[in-house]
Chains A and B, each alone.
Chain A
């Protein structure tokens, strides 16, 4: 007999069972900070934004992007607290908008996760191993190490790194989250140590010292270029670089689109809502999301500013221009990992900086598997993917082993494709567009939530947040749709964002993206018909029951 009674300001609870899964706010915040890619993805930003849009301040672009993201995170937090279910965006869209739309957008995202797995391998090869062996070769004068560094920057090095890292992380993840959780603090500590070391190095290195160290390192690779620093600048100008290009409102929006690659990604915790303790508490969720954003903005803006100060604005812009246009065949790619390592002047500093890049890339692989498997399980529960794909393993205590293998095999096949047909890499640039597409659909779902899923909205605590008579979630969602549509237009039309081909390039990325969406869309209707022939009407999964 239950006689235990708890009271709290007029609320009385009786003794009853209440089993819940819990991911604490601090772990949620760490997860978000990782997905904001404050080291690895940021290294792209430091070259991409100033190199392609030198007429726009990248720091201003970051600030504008962060301001634009705030209402979107608010909409996500509200939606999540009202529907805190595993599957996140897929669940929101399929229940509020339409299941075919949700499946098309999120199944395509699952396919793009294969690319994200490749990206982890790329980051480790090009941003960790290549700089590491460059610096070791430079310090020791060992040409073998320099050759190894160049190998890791090339197709073979990236391929083998991706294959091995993905395999090892998947093996570690199959027994469940435990292995990851055991090392999560180490991975996070690695990122923090790297950020702190980079900041100290950037604050204590003079421009002249950087130029001298950089030229010394590059001369080890290319003895004919005694002043590689100037060579980068001259080559950029010789190939059409203009410091005033990419300015104005169009340039600012484009830089925001580049910053989006980092700052939007706290939303990747949404597929894990079923395991987050505070997922139905809008206040806590809101704070965790916004604090993640604040941390990401601080790191990126500070690092960008310091790189400009130490390396020189013109150099960073020119290095980015050559990187984007392929006008220099860099022996070691000029990411922030190598630029800051070369400033340190010691092997210890190099190791401290690169270890963080390594741990973030490893964690990124875990993130892909964690979020991706939750999406797959949610879809298979709805029967829009084969049920076996989302099967939970008894042996591994609830781990979705088949979904992990699906992601792993897809990632490994893509790695092979990248190796034998390097042009396929242009497909990768459509990831930003594809992600923006599904995120825009989610904020659209947020905007119409109070009417499209009225009973769930009214039952949720967020229904009290209004501006006048308009639900706050509608205002934030509408803002998100506006931003999303503008970004989608830019991704499609601005050659600096990857999908519109430069002269001499192909439309492969764009075509690849369309094919994935088309296949997903057709798949939904075919699987719907197949299920119906077996007496399973999957439309029922998405239809709201009358609440009156």
Chain B
């Protein structure tokens, strides 16, 4: 499908794509993401997955006040005034879901993990719905392509929320056009992680999912791969080795750093040689790595600081003209 064209109004002789990833529920980072289109004069903006938060913070109603435990410290705000909204905003900025509740409900949640799980899904959906509204408010009529994928940490229950949007294209498992020439094939699944996240799959399954989407590409010469997981042993995938209890394996008193990327992703890039590979997943492994013709990029992530890390890639006639890491 050809939804978006290169914007002549932006005055560039090339197509500029802004790619970011791993926002993990940070609302400030998401607002920055949609603002990035104008700020960076991008023709298309892409959010590469892991968009939902990992933690819910109870804001507990007490007589005349609200209490919340944030960063290991008790925050108390008056019932009246704007402090509560400010606290909720700080919680959202850090990628957590604020949840107004009562002491009794908190006890119920402690006792019933399934209830917590279902509450997480509800909060994710509510948060995503609010994000889609923000995107529509800021992007409607701007002529900017906005593409969002899921990552391995996200849940399928949020897909319908994104698909309902008028301005955002749900790109996971699809091939979309970034302009009239350049395609983007996306896959948000990951090889198995120690946490067994919702969208972790085996390397074999991942290879099948990748092939399913790559087979839809018209012209691989002009294609960008947007695969959440970086290729194996690419320097974009270095992370501490973990033991069975999810604790870092220590060597000489320090974490043992190993490659944790996907062999299926690497095989696909080596075989198909797209223009570029846009990846995330490993927040600390920001960098670039070339596999044959393909320039693979992981912009890293600092969502919890409210910082939006990303990369600008300039595309023209099947070539990656330049790339530039940005953090705003």
Contacts and interface: CB of A to CB of B under 8 A. Distances in A.
Interface of A: 1-5, 7-24, 27, 82-85, 95, 176-178, 181-182, 184-185, 274, 280, 381-383, 387, 392-394, 397-398, 455-456, 458-461, 534-538, 540-541, 543-548
Nearest to A387: B288
B195 A185 contact: no
B253 A27 contact: yes
Contacts of B307: 83, 456
B326 A541 contact: yes
Given A22-B255, A541-B325, A16 B153 contact: yes
Nearest to A84: B305
A386 to B, nearest CB: 13
A181 B255 CA distance: 10
A181 B196 contact: no
Contacts of A2: 117, 155, 195-198
B195 A16 contact: yes
Which of B36, B153, B234, B259 is the most central at the interface, judged by chain A CB atoms within 10 Å of its CB?
Answer: B153
12 contacts: A2-B155, A7-B116, A10-B57, A11-B57, A12-B120, A14-B117, A21-B255, A280-B304, A545-B35, A546-B39, A547-B31, A547-B32
B216 to A, nearest CB: 28
B32 A545 contact: yes
Interface stretch (B162-170, B173-181, B270-278, B279-287): B279-287
Contacts of B114: 3
B321 A181 contact: no
Given A3-B117, A456-B305, A17 B193 contact: yes
A459 B254 contact: no
B186 interface: no
Top-10 shortest CB links A-B: A545-B328, A459-B306, A10-B58, A545-B32, A19-B239, A16-B54, A459-B93, A5-B113, A182-B252, A9-B69
A10 B106 contact: yes
A541 B55 contact: no
A15 B284 contact: no
Given A12-B55, A540-B312, A19 B284 contact: yes
A159 to B, nearest CB: 33
Dominant SS among interface residues on chain B: mixed
Contacts of B50: 17
A173 to B, nearest CB: 14
Contacts of B93: 458-459
Nearest to A281: B71
Interface residues of B, number: 86
B238 A398 contact: yes
A143 B288 CA distance: 58
Nearest to A179: B252
B153 A7 contact: no
A478 B70 CA distance: 29
Nearest to B40: A540
A548 to B, nearest CB: 7
Interface string B175-205: 0000000000000001001111110000000
A8 B106 CA distance: 11
Contact of A17 (B106, B195, B240): B195
Contact of B327 (A459, A461, A541): A541
Contacts of A11: 55-58, 69-70, 96
A18 B195 contact: yes
Nearest to A12: B56
B314 to A, nearest CB: 5
Interface in B292-323: 302, 304-308, 312, 314, 321-322
Nearest to B302: A85
Contacts of A23: 254
Given A10-B68, A27-B254, A545-B35, A16 B197 contact: yes
Nearest to A455: B306
A153 to B, nearest CB: 35
Contacts of A176: 257
A543 to B, nearest CB: 6
A85 B255 CA distance: 18
Given A10-B60, A21-B255, A394-B289, A543 B328 contact: yes
Given A17-B197, A274-B284, A536 B255 contact: no
Nearest to B246: A18
B94 A12 contact: no
Nearest to B74: A9
A14 B106 CA distance: 15
B128 to A, nearest CB: 15
B3 interface: no
A548 B31 contact: yes
